[in-house]
Amino acid sequence: MSLHSRAGEPAQQVDLADIPHLISAYYTLSPRADSVAEQVSFGTSGHRGSALKRSFNQAHIRAIVQAVVDYRRQAGIHGPMLLGYDTHALSQPAFYTAIEVLAANGVRVHIQKDRGFLPTPVLSYGVIRYNRSSDELADGLILTPSHNPPADGGIKYNPPHGGPADTDVTDFIAARANHYLAHGLEGVRWVSHDVAMATALVEEWDLIGEYIEAVGQVVDVEAIAKSGVRLGVDPLGGASVSVWQRLGERYGLDLTVVNDRVDAAFGFMALDKDGQIRMDCSSSHAMAPLLALKDQFDLALANDPDADRHGIVCRDGGLMNPNHFLAVAIDYLLSHRQQWPQGIAVGKTLVSSAIIDKVVEAKGHPLYEVPVGFKWFVEGLSLGTLAFGGEESAGASYLDRKGQAFSTDKDGFILCLLAAEIQAVTGESPASHYGRLEAQFGEHFYRRIDAPATDSIKAAFKTLEPENLACDTLAGEPVKAILTRAPGNQANIGGLKMVTEHGWFAARPSGTEPIYKIYAESSQSEAHLTQLLEEAQALIAALSS
C-alpha cells in the first residue's frame, strides 16, 4: 500500500464523516436479506459495519442483542448485563437500542454512572469483579468498532469470563441474529426508551471508579508516583478520556491529558497512512500530534477509542513498535512479579515477533502460541495459568500482582501504566530496555503487508494441510516447520505459518475484505525479510493455480 500524500497531517473538513447523515442512516436504512455484506458477521472483535453500507443499523443491533439474550438464557446466565459504549457516532444510538431490547426481555442492565462512556477493559474487569462475589453470573456487551474510522460501528459480547466470546458463542449469536433479520425481526422484543428506563431494570454504577480503585493491584502505581515520571496522555478522542484524569488524581501521578476533546467526527486526528481518519495508537501517522509533544514528557501514552490498545511513545525512541513493547513488558514482568507461580506460561499470537519467544525461553517459562484473536488467551488468564497474553496489534493483558485475573480482554490502561512502572522502577525507558533485548537476542526485522485474495486463494487457505505443501526451502534456508495449527492449542490458524532458522512468514485471509495478510520476520536483514515476503506471495499464488 502506497503512503497517502497527507499521511500524518491534520484532518481537513473534506476528510470528515457526515455525522447527521450517518445517524439518520442508522435509523432509516435496513439490511437486505439477499446481501451477504449486510448480514451479521463476527470477526475476531465482534460485528462491525457502517450504517451507510447497511451493515450496522438499528435492525442489526436489535437482532444481535436479542440473539445474545437467547444465548444467555440457554447458558444459564441470569445476572446483570454490563453495557458500555465508546465515542464513535454510532455507538450511542446502538447503546440505547440495546437497552430497549434488554429491558423488553427483562434483563437487568448495569451502565456507567451518568450514562458515560465505558472502555472495554473497565467492562471486562467489572464482569470479573461481579462474578467473584455473586451467586449469579453477569456478562457484558460493548458498542465499539475499536480503532476503526468514524463512520464505523461495532458490537462485541463478553461472556461471564469477562473476555471476548469464543467462536462457538459468536457463531450461535450471528446465526440467530441473521435468522431474525431474514424474518423481519419476528421474535425480537423491544420497548421504547422511556418505557425501558421506567422499568427500573437499568442501574447506573461507577464502574470506572471501581476499576481505578483496583488498578493498584496490577500496577505499582506507588512507584510511578514516587518517581515523578512525567506522563502525557492522549485518549485520541475515545472512552479513556473518562478515566485518565481520574487515574492521575487518585494515585498522585504527574499526568497531563494533552487532548480531552470528544468529537464524533474525530476531526482533531492526523490522517493514517492511507489517508483515512483512524484512531490507531500503533500508527506513527495517526499519532503524529502526540509524537510532536514527546519531548515535553518522560513518556507519552495513548489508547484507541475503547481503550483496549496501547501506544507507547518514549522521548529517546519515539513510538514503540507494538512487538517491541510486548517483549519489554514480558521481560520486565517475569522479573518483577515475585508472587506469580514459577514457570507460568506466556501467551502470544503466532504472528507476533520471534524475539518474544527468545525472551520467554531465556526466562525459563513456557510459550503459549495461538492464532490471531485475543479470545485464545481468556481461559488461561481466567484460571491464572497464563501470566500474559499479547497480540502484535498493540493489545495485551496480564495478571495482577498476586497472580489473579484482572481483565481478560485487551487492556490499554494497564499496559500504558506498565510502561510508566518500567521507567519508574528501572530508571530507563521501555525503548532503552528494548535496546538491551536487541543487543542480547539480535535485531529483528518485521513487516506486515496486504495482498489481493481471489476466490481460489481463499478456497486454498481453507483446505491447507502441511503435508500437501511441497516446499523444502524458504529464502535460502531449510524449512523447519509448516504450520496450519497453532503450537500452543492446536487451533486452526485459518492460513499457514512457515518457519526457518532465521525467519518466518504467516498468511491468513481477511474475513471482511478481498485481501490476505502476510506477516514476516527476519533475524538477519531487511533484504532477507523482503525475500521472505516475495517468496511467500509466490507460494500462495501457486496454491491456487
Catalytic residue annotation? 146
Please answer whether residues 274 and 7 qualify as being in contact, where contact means their C-beta atoms are separated by less than 8 angstroms.
Answer: yes
* Diameter over CA atoms, the chain: 69
360 has which bridge partners? none
Buried residues in 397-425 as b, exposed as e (16+ CB within 10 A): bbbbbeebbbbbbbbbbbbbbbbbbbbbb
Angle 544-528-467 from CA coordinates, rounded to 5°:
35
Taking the C-alpha atoms of residue 4 and residue 2, their distance in angstroms, rounded to an integer, is 6
- Candidates 158, 189, 154; CA nearest to 62 is 189
Please answer whether residues 115 and 204 qualify as being in contact, where contact means their C-beta atoms are separated by less than 8 angstroms.
Answer: yes
Please answer whether residues 245 and 256 qualify as being in contact, where contact means their C-beta atoms are separated by less than 8 angstroms.
Answer: no
Q: Backbone phi, then psi, for 128, in 5-degree steps?
A: -60, -45
Q: Backbone phi, then psi, for 502, in 5-degree steps?
A: -120, 15
- Candidates 420, 257, 213, 406; CA nearest to 329 is 420
Please answer whether residues 185 and 63 qualify as being in contact, where contact means their C-beta atoms are separated by less than 8 angstroms.
Answer: yes
